[in-house]
Structure 1
Amino acid sequence: MRLLVAQPNHEAGLEHLIEELKQYESYDAVLYPEGYVLGDSGVLSLCKLAKQYKKLIITGYRDRNNKDRALIINSCGDIILERAKSPMNESLYSPSVTMVDNITIGYLLCVEILQGFAGLEGMEGPGETIDIIMHPIGVGMFSDEQFAEWIEEATKIALKYNAMIIGTSHADGSYRNCGVSIPISYCIDSTGEPIYISKNDTRSRIIHLKTRQFDILGQ
């Protein structure tokens, strides 16, 4: 599988995604940030795009109550994972694991990275293991310390589940308008070694999951 990992700006429509889908032959699946899609109409549009371009789409959306929710849509345009965001004082919500083409995908939504180390166990199904963990993030990090903390946590999760983990945030926006935003994108392999860690570099990347190499989209 070839995965496009994008860092768009916040936008009312899906312009950035649609533009990247025009290069559809370069990849099989896309990972977009938490809250990139707005409302039920946005989700419906996303389902149509997934079916049109035959892409697995992994992201998060903001519902009518302005709450963030998890979302994975398969290449037929069907929603295969959808749930609310887990509260910080509770266990990770289910479902947080799904299977696509014999690949078992774990899912952590933004700050759920701090719940994933003790949250994905037992969700795989009998005899299954997690192959890859996707981590859509809302906005950039509010400090270098947070950046380092989340990368450290992602590394621990990759090692625990023996699974690659990939995360990405929007290129713009700050946590509760604190005024600091460090866009983040990363991929850490199942041994805990980084394939890449991006800080303030908002270019889209295509990760070749089998070879564990990546390219910059358009280069």
Structure 2
Amino acid sequence: MKILIGLPKLENQNRQLEEVLRGEPEVDLVLFPEGYLNEDLKLASTLMRSCGTMLVSGYRKPKDRLVIIGRNGEVVLDRAKYEQHGSVELEGVRMTSLLCDELVKQGLIGDGHTLDLIFHPIGVGMFSEEQFSEWIGLAKNIAKQHGAIMIGTSHADGAYRDSEISIPIAYCINQNGEEIFVKKNDVRMVILDTNTGSFHEYALVEGA
């Protein structure tokens, strides 16, 4: 499976999502951060159906929710933050997701299925170097515990509450808890091939 891991800027429309979908038609799934979709879930579903791509991201209604959308635009998982996680199987791949600080507040609440992929949409960047290290460490533990690839990403901008620091973060950890890549203050997007573990980075198209 080819997965695009994006670090978009906060925006009110889904323009950056549409740009990467049009520019990278070969990807199977796009991971965008928590809250990126705002409240426009219908538009996201239409985009995924139009482009034939799956999506893992988050939106607000009015509180934060996780969403997974299939290639046909169908919402296959939609849950509120801190609820039972659940998992879905798409195209033979069993996946689930943590939503931002669920990583530290409750960890991964499994549903008994063996997992292939664990996604981690994060809202804004890390507010300290210590938080960055802590979250990567926890992700490694979860990936190893569940024998699954774990992938996380945040927005390229924004800050948590009154923090003056926002460190963009994106990472991929393999089934053994080892780093495939860890990005800090690097907002280039990544396309990952989960079959080979290979990846390449690129900047979002000009104007985004």
TM-score (norm 2): 0.94
For 1:178 and 1:144, the matched residues in 2 are separated by 13
Does residue 142 in structure 1 map to residue 162 in structure 2?
no
Listed as ranges, the matches of 1:8-23 within 5 Å are: 8-23=8-23
**1:191 match:** 176
Q: 2:87 aligns with which of 97, 118, 122?
A: 97
Does residue 76 in structure 1 map to residue 72 in structure 2?
yes
Indicate the percent of aligned positions where both proteins have the same amino acid.
40
**2:30 match:** 30
SS of residue in 2 equivalent to 1:177: coil
Question: Runs of 5+ in structure 1 lacking a partner?
Answer: 87-92
SS of residue in 2 equivalent to 1:154: helix
Q: Does the CA contact (< 8 Å) of 1:2 and 1:28 recur in 2?
A: yes
Q: Does the CA contact (< 8 Å) of 1:140 and 1:171 recur in 2?
A: yes
Q: CA deviation at 1:97?
A: 1.2
Q: CA deviation at 1:205?
A: 0.4
SS of residue in 1 equivalent to 2:4: strand
| Residue type of the alignment partner of 2:48 | A
**2:41 match:** 43
Q: May I ask how many residue pairs the two structures share in their alignment?
A: 204
Q: Does the CA contact (< 8 Å) of 1:117 and 1:160 recur in 2?
A: no
Q: CA deviation at 1:115?
A: 4.7
Give the root-mean-square deviation of aligned CA atoms: 1.5
Q: 1:209 aligns with which of 175, 194, 201?
A: 194
> Which has a greater percent of helix?
1
| Residue type of the alignment partner of 1:78 | E
Q: 1:62 aligns with which of 57, 60, 63?
A: 60
| Residue type of the alignment partner of 1:152 | G
